[in-house]
Structure 1
Amino acid sequence: MSEPERPAYPEPVRYPAVVLVTGAAAGMGAEHARALARRGSHVHLADVADCAPVVREITDAGGRATAHRLDVTDSAAWHTVTDAVRRTCGRLDGLVNNAGISRRLRFMDTTEEVWDRVLRINLTGAFLGIRASAPLMRDSGGGAIVNISSISGQIGYFSPSYSASKWGLTGLSKSAAGELAPWNIRVNSLHPGLVATGLLAGSDAFVAGATRSIPAGRPAEPAEITDAVLFLLSDRSAYMTGSEVTLDGGLVSNGLYHRILDDAEGAL
């Protein structure tokens, strides 16, 4: 029996109809929102800062977007936002937990206040978001959640609050993936390494040192991180859940020996 004829080209990629992105007033969150809007998603942008300028940019370009004020550490605020999404769109198909902060403080310089604040925003915020969003995603037939972690959630990073929050986010993603699978909700964590954004401004020595350890020889471009977010939200990753996606130019897998070999070149 001959095999069934297959189309010459794959079906078009399907992206979620309605997506909520946190930390979306600027930076990578805004880039994720713009990219989703260009692909037809109605994007709900949420932040403690004003998302209106990015929303205007999206709608002026013909996209659909809505702004929300959201403190991710506030459980009631999360429910206010998801209730608004339900009222305006009737569904939610994707969530990007992008909001986060970093404090580059070494272990003994990290105060209890810094520790609590970083974990509250980076980890508890994502937990509250998943808990508030999952019932609406279930009622929508399922969906995809992308938690923006970091390679600091895979290695022993020098800043304990940031590293602990990102390791926690890795574990949270895996726990949620198992619990929410019966609701057809996928949960994955994305682990960027060094990314060329404004957050690196004023850290030239840190960036130069880190770049020397990257086998690819450069930081990631923001669009490369957005491409991974789009993939994890799309139907192209339909069988992925509980996974860690690392985008770091080989830093975690080979960075140590890459740097050792560079430093020892000519001595081997």
Structure 2
Amino acid sequence: MADTRRFEGHGVLITGAARGIGAATARRLAEEGARVLVTDRDGPEAERTAAELRECGLAAEALGCDVADRASVEAAVAHAVAAFGSLDVLVNSAASCTPDTDLVEDGTDEAWDRDLDVTLTGTYRCCRAALPHLAATGRGAIVNVGSVNALQDFGNHAYSAAKAGLGSLTRTLAGHAAPRGVRVNLVTPGTVRTSAWEGRDADLDAVRPLYPLGRVGEPEDIAAAIAFLASRDAAWITGTTLTVDGGLTAVNTGFLAAVRHQSEA
């Protein structure tokens, strides 16, 4: 349980919140006093997550929302405002990541378009619908969820391009929204133990040594960073990217290990 109540009385909408980072963020903000709308394209799973929060005495509702559909996004924003009386925080966690083909020339327009439409344009749709309501509260905050894929090559061409686009969108929206009292920031996670890695413990064990802090991330690690950026503790922070990756992009552990091996040989 969080030690503070930074979001007492805040209305919060989180996309992609049925599981993983989105679900952990819903729990973290609700523990700090927020009333949370858990949205996801998988409506029943969103309701399961919200029900788990309610069983813990936390304030949560659920709604099916497809960020690739403008009407669905606008309905979710309207639902949050009607249910909570205000919308103070928007967390854009929904994303699509289609596995790459072996050769880029075998990729399809449909797969490329889907990843960009959900991950990048979906975030834009949510920000566009939410901004007037966030501005009305005088304390509005948007936190977008990016990826280290935007910073280095970790595969997934379309997903990586979309996540890189979120960096630019975050900065331009920050400049646009600042005069209206709304802050916009980006959190950039490294490898996080979510359902995307289910059944792939060997892969997680293989990448663990690449992380200077000695482990992959947990959804709660990212939720804590999102909570900070969304809170008044970050009142003078906007347009920034907070990288939460255990040191992965700061330290080339593979290079250092190779050099040390050679020097010891």
Instruction: Tell me which of 61, 66, 71 is aligned to 2:61.
Output: 66
Q: What is the alpha-carbon distance in structure 2 between the residues aligned to residue 198 and residue 82 of structure 1?
A: 26
Q: Which stretch shows the higher mean deviation, 113-122 or 79-88?
A: 79-88
User: Does structure 1 retain, via aligned residues, the 8 Å contact 2:5–2:32?
Assistant: no
Superposed CA RMSD in Å reads 1.7
Paired residue secondary structure (1:177): helix
User: Does structure 1 retain, via aligned residues, the 8 Å contact 2:6–2:33?
Assistant: no
TM-score, structure 1 as length reference: 0.89
Q: Counterpart of 1:14?
A: 6
Instruction: Tell me which of 13, 38, 43 is aligned to 2:31.
Output: 38
Q: Identity rate of aligned residues, in percent?
A: 36
User: Does structure 2 retain, via aligned residues, the 8 Å contact 1:22–1:99?
Assistant: yes
User: Does structure 2 retain, via aligned residues, the 8 Å contact 1:142–1:183?
Assistant: no
TM-score, structure 2 as length reference: 0.90
Q: What is the alpha-carbon distance in structure 2 between the residues aligned to residue 135 and residue 110 of structure 1?
A: 38
Q: How many equivalent pairs are there?
A: 255
Give 1 or 2 for the bigger CA radius of gyration. Answer: 1
User: Does structure 2 retain, via aligned residues, the 8 Å contact 1:13–1:234?
Assistant: no
Instruction: Tell me which of 186, 190, 193 is aligned to 2:190.
Output: 193
* Structure 2 unaligned blocks of 5 or more: none
1:28-52 per-position Cα deviation (integer Å, ceiling 9, x unaligned): 2111111111111000111111211
Q: Determine if the alignment matches structure 1 residue 169 to structure 2 residue 166.
A: yes
Q: What is the alpha-carbon distance in structure 2 between the residues aligned to residue 190 and residue 178 of structure 1?
A: 17
1:80–1:62 CA distance, 2 compared to 1 (3 A): same
Letter aligned with residue 6 of structure 2? R
Q: Counterpart of 1:123?
A: 120
Q: Which stretch shows the higher mean deviation, 124-133 or 76-85?
A: 76-85
Letter aligned with residue 66 of structure 2? D
Paired residues for 1:113-262 under 5 Å: 113-203=110-200, 206-255=203-252, 258-262=253-257
Paired residue secondary structure (1:254): coil
Q: What is the alpha-carbon distance in structure 2 between the residues aligned to residue 208 and residue 111 of structure 1?
A: 32
* Structure 1 unaligned blocks of 5 or more: 1-11
Q: What is the alpha-carbon distance in structure 1 between the residues aligned to residue 109 and residue 200 of structure 2?
A: 24
Q: What is the alpha-carbon distance in structure 1 between the residues aligned to residue 260 and residue 201 of structure 2?
A: 24
1:136-158 per-position Cα deviation (integer Å, ceiling 9, x unaligned): 11112231100000011122332
1:225–1:73 CA distance, 2 compared to 1 (3 A): same
Q: What is the alpha-carbon distance in structure 1 between the residues aligned to residue 261 and residue 172 of structure 2?
A: 48
